[in-house]
A = this chain, B = another copy of it.
Amino acid sequence: MIKMNKERSLSKNQQIILDLIDKSSEPLKAYTILFNVQKKGIKAPPQVYRALDKLVEIGKIHKIESKNAFVACKNSNCEISKATAFSICESCEEVDEVSDTKLSKFLSKFNDKKGMTFKRFNLEFFGLCKRCKIK
């Protein structure tokens, strides 16, 4: 069985939730999402979490683990959720997806001494953004 459809079409709930995350300037938490889509008929946590799981799986969004929050992938050529890196400002909480070829190459090629095979990584940098440094 070969799957050919490259451009999977999203389901209704998936699209609603992706739209919300996409237009947000900051990472959104699951229950913030829930609150904001209740008027569209998504009323319960499992509906949100199921859509989030799928969107993460297909690489449309990423989870910021240290914040339990979700951002849209800004990086259309980013390998599907396999190699993610973020910069997080500890003052204003701004989150950006880092896309740096050297960085992702270095990490994708990185080999463990213990013979482990890496299929995926997630990297979170913390610090102060340009604006917050000035203050």
User: Which A residues form the contact surface with B (CB < 8 A)?
Assistant: 65-66, 87, 89-90, 96, 98, 100, 103, 106-107, 110, 112-130, 133
Task: Please report the C-alpha to C-alpha distance between residue A100 and residue B127 in the assembled complex, in whole angstroms.
Answer: 22
| Complex contacts, A120 vs chain B, CB 8 Å | 125-127
Of the residues B87, B106, B112, B122, contact of A124 by C-beta under 8 Å? B122
Give this chain's copy count.
Answer: 2
Residue of chain B at shortest CB distance from A94: B116
Cross-chain contact A129 with B103 (CB below 8 angstroms): no
| Complex contacts, A118 vs chain B, CB 8 Å | 87, 125-127
The smallest beta-carbon distance between A40 and chain B, in angstroms, is 30
The smallest beta-carbon distance between A91 and chain B, in angstroms, is 11
